[in-house]
Structure 1
Amino acid sequence: MKIGIDITPLQNGHCRRGVGEYARNLLVSLLEADQQNEYVFFGYPGEAPDVFDSLSNFNLVQAGPDGDDGIWRRLKWHQYTMPRLASRFNLDVIHLLVQSFDVNIPIYRPAKMVVTIHDLKALLFPKIYLNNPSKRISYKVMINFAKKADHIITDSCHSKNDIVNKLRVSDERVSVIPLAVDPYFYQSNRDGQEDSGLTSKQYGLEKEFILFVGAIEPSKNIDALLSVYEQLVRQGRSEQLVLVGVQDPSYFKDLQNRFGYLFGTSIRFLDFIPKRDLRALYRLAKFFVYPSLYEGFGLPVLEALASGTPVITSNASSVPEVTGEAAILVDPLDLDLLQEKMVELCEDENARSALATTGVARAREFSWARCASQTAEVYQSLARGEVAA
């Protein structure tokens, strides 16, 4: 069987988000486990992602438009360049690893198409994500294309329900394949304490801190988190709040207008940081807090669990599927309860220790090898005509 995969999420802005982690770990696990099928990866010209340096059993094809990674470049790639490249290889299946405003199922399809839809947050929060006519039109086009995929993969049962109900596709055309975390987050290393000390100094973290990791955008409920943290500061709590992630400029400006007097001292924002440093931050944090309004999966939550970091997170959308009973779950709109639980973990070392232990055990229930195996089963079933189309 010949399988084509679009690797451009590793070459654009997605590479610094959860989609990039998904693409990177899935491709590595597929190639490590599957020596029978032939893989062809399609990407933009230029330097290949370093994830491929130690792998074999694939053909990397790079072509198409040069220039900035804008909407027209992506549209040309997915509607013209990639499908025509793919037609040369007599493929059985092509997999698009993300569905977004400008990543669409091609009109011309040289093979059966699988697409991964991680969430439908734009459809569920249109005032945030579809706030101008061009975005609304683009998303409507994307939805119509997505419905034409031969099969859809998603990360959680909650996302599958959204896809089936909102896109009106049959249950049989959607497979739930949970994500996992990079094994690096589990590894112990002999100089872990030295790494932690170096990371603290490098990022100017002189006090105990509470950690958030994820995009700084409205659906993550950051304004509510900062409101609660502001109350903790007024009560005399000394822990810093550290937020790591790519920032939505408009949203960040609103946060700055409201809470800017705390920025740089009590509240620290860090942009994308290397995985080595991120692991150290998880392990240094007193606990991890993630009061998101909506998640297709919630990969940072699983990373925190794997790192042995106590977690307070949302009871909304897919997050409870990830945490099981290994985290404190709160209604993300109940700020009083969020504040209560944050104070509780600040003060109760035994509670933190218990959550750390159960969190690691829970995270080990998720596996990239299993994710890759189940994804390969979708390819095989679709190629044999066994998956509903």
Structure 2
Amino acid sequence: MTDDQTLVNLSVLFSKPTGISTYAINLLPHLQQLNPTLLISPTVSTWMPLSDYTCYSIPGNLTPEQGTKGHFRRLLWTQLQLPRIYNTLRSRLLFSPIPEAPLYTNCRYVVMVHDLIPLRFPRRFSPLTPYFRYYIPQVLAQAQHIICNSTATARDITDFFHIPSAKITPIPLAYDANHFRCLERLSEVTSPLPPQPPFLTGEYKEKRLSLDSSNEPREGEASRNRPYFLYIGRHDPYKNLHRLIDAFAALPNCHDYELWLVGSTDQRYTPKLGDQADQLGLTHQVKFLDYLPYNQLPTIINQAIALVFPTLWEGFGLPVLEAMACGTPVITSNLSSLPEVAGNAALVINPYNAGEITEAMQAIATDSELRSRLRALSLNRASQFSWAKTGQATVEVLQRYL
């Protein structure tokens, strides 16, 4: 065993990947040239091929899937067990795809910071607030180097924590070009939409988290062939879904369209959004599709009128890039990293102004020339991002500290 052993901490991986897991999974093949040892739960091998990697088994109860308990278990494991593993394997460097690492030890590490949203939009009594206020600054101060996903996040790291910019390298994220692509012909649609996809609707008041998977429209519901606007992501307040629903309600002839909200429901926020849709008379038009499997996303994105992503802040904004890669028009915010990702290939709006969101949705819905122009611009813009570029830039940073 050599003394330049590189460890990759994959303690956050679980079977329903969102942003951080998507980043780690797609980056991994490009780190192979470092011959790393992966710190990974054995359960991950049931859904992710790992035969080409050296793996070191760690507990499987450290992931976001276990909620707050998993988070605290992972922090304890990071402080108490990870230094022992680092020394046992005679490691030279630890890479973590999240900003977590052992403090006050001999562990040398590089970490990835995705965003500082819990500091921009703090929630009372949330454990993430002290985590970002007290733990993360110590991790970043003791890191050999910090990678982040945008210049907006790099500015936040400097502004919130006074970390010198020379210690930070922004490396944009990417997308799977074999998965997210423009489906030119119907025969290319490998995961066709069911007649009526699972959704949560106005009956939400009685069965908040029960998916209605019936294939038959209910009485009074219009045809399932209505065109739809699409949002992908969580339901947190900073995602700005209440303004998106208001903007959709203000569309002329809004009853000719639907709004599909794809992403895991949250008992703290989703019921309020369901009630808002009911009060606006949009019970059968605002669809809460819950978490969708990765293989269904390209079809859902390709068949949408537009992705509408009016969040108040993002570290990067993967759904924007994935939609552009499908040639789907994008409406997104003029704040944080989103203009970096979208460039000139999207309609950018002030996310605090619901009227601007409505105007952009109406323009895309009614102007075929605009849709065609945005499609061409989106495909060109997306082609500038790749996991190979992201991976190589990451390897170059890590090699500096080996």
> TM-score, structure 2 length as denominator?
0.85
- In terms of fraction of residues, the more helix-rich structure is 1
Structure 1 residue 7 corresponds to structure 2 residue 25: no
Question: Which residue, 172, 191, 195 being the options, matches 2:166?
Answer: 172
Partner of 1:333: 352
| Separation (CA, whole Å) in 1 of partners of 2:352 and 2:284 | 26
SS at match of 2:339: helix
Q: What's the offset of the Cα at 1:248?
A: 2.9
Residues 148-180 of structure 1: per-residue CA shift (max 9 Å, x gap): 222111000111011012111111110010000
Do 1:287 and 1:310's aligned partners in 2 also have CA atoms closer than 8 Å?
A: yes
| Separation (CA, whole Å) in 2 of partners of 1:193 and 1:290 | 26
Q: What's the offset of the Cα at 1:66?
A: 5.0
Do 2:245 and 2:277's aligned partners in 1 also have CA atoms closer than 8 Å?
A: yes
Q: What's the offset of the Cα at 1:20?
A: 1.2
Can you give the 5+ residue segments of structure 2 that lack an aligned partner in the other structure?
Answer: 199-214, 216-223
SS at match of 1:10: coil
SS at match of 2:56: strand
Q: What's the offset of the Cα at 1:120?
A: 0.7
Q: Percent identity?
A: 30
Do 2:103 and 2:142's aligned partners in 1 also have CA atoms closer than 8 Å?
A: no
Partner of 2:284: 265
| Separation (CA, whole Å) in 2 of partners of 1:196 and 1:47 | 25
Partner of 2:221: none
Can you give the 5+ residue segments of structure 1 that lack an aligned partner in the other structure?
Answer: 384-389
Partner of 1:249: 267
| Separation (CA, whole Å) in 1 of partners of 2:160 and 2:113 | 13
- Once the two structures are superposed, the pairs formed by residues 74-153 of structure 1 within 5 Å of their partners are 74-99=74-99, 104-107=100-103, 109-126=105-122, 129=123, 131-132=124-125, 134-146=127-139, 147-153=141-147
The residue type equivalent to 1:138 in the other structure is: Y
SS at match of 2:157: helix
Do 1:179 and 1:368's aligned partners in 2 also have CA atoms closer than 8 Å?
A: yes
Q: What's the offset of the Cα at 1:63?
A: 2.6
The residue type equivalent to 1:174 in the other structure is: I
Residues 292-312 of structure 1: per-residue CA shift (max 9 Å, x gap): 100100000000000110111
Larger CA deviation: 106-115 vs 309-318: 106-115
Residue correspondences, number: 367
Q: What's the offset of the Cα at 1:43?
A: 2.1
Structure 1 residue 310 corresponds to structure 2 residue 316: no
Residues 20-74 of structure 1: per-residue CA shift (max 9 Å, x gap): 110110012322xx2xx32111123534263334x51x21111347585623311
Q: What's the offset of the Cα at 1:259?
A: 2.1
| Separation (CA, whole Å) in 2 of partners of 1:211 and 1:339 | 14
The residue type equivalent to 2:152 in the other structure is: H
| Separation (CA, whole Å) in 1 of partners of 2:264 and 2:229 | 18
Partner of 2:58: 63
Structure 1 residue 162 corresponds to structure 2 residue 156: yes
| Separation (CA, whole Å) in 2 of partners of 1:196 and 1:65 | 31
Q: What's the offset of the Cα at 1:105?
A: 2.1
Q: Residues 165 and 202 from structure 1, CA distance in 2 versus in 1: closer, same or farther, beyond 3 angstroms?
A: closer
Larger CA deviation: 192-201 vs 67-76: 192-201
- Once the two structures are superposed, the pairs formed by residues 351-362 of structure 1 within 5 Å of their partners are 351-362=370-381
Q: What's the offset of the Cα at 1:276?
A: 2.1
Q: Residues 367 and 77 from structure 1, CA distance in 2 versus in 1: closer, same or farther, beyond 3 angstroms?
A: same
SS at match of 1:4: strand
SS at match of 1:382: coil
Partner of 2:382: 363
The residue type equivalent to 1:59 in the other structure is: T
| Separation (CA, whole Å) in 2 of partners of 1:328 and 1:133 | 34
Do 1:115 and 1:152's aligned partners in 2 also have CA atoms closer than 8 Å?
A: yes
Larger CA deviation: 286-295 vs 1-10: 1-10
The residue type equivalent to 1:63 in the other structure is: I
Do 1:65 and 1:77's aligned partners in 2 also have CA atoms closer than 8 Å?
A: no
| Separation (CA, whole Å) in 2 of partners of 1:111 and 1:151 | 13
| Separation (CA, whole Å) in 2 of partners of 1:66 and 1:342 | 42
> TM-score, structure 1 length as denominator?
0.87
Partner of 1:380: 399
Residues 110-150 of structure 1: per-residue CA shift (max 9 Å, x gap): 43111111111111112xx3x11754333323233223222
The residue type equivalent to 2:25 in the other structure is: R
SS at match of 1:52: coil
| Separation (CA, whole Å) in 2 of partners of 1:231 and 1:140 | 39
Do 1:63 and 1:81's aligned partners in 2 also have CA atoms closer than 8 Å?
A: no
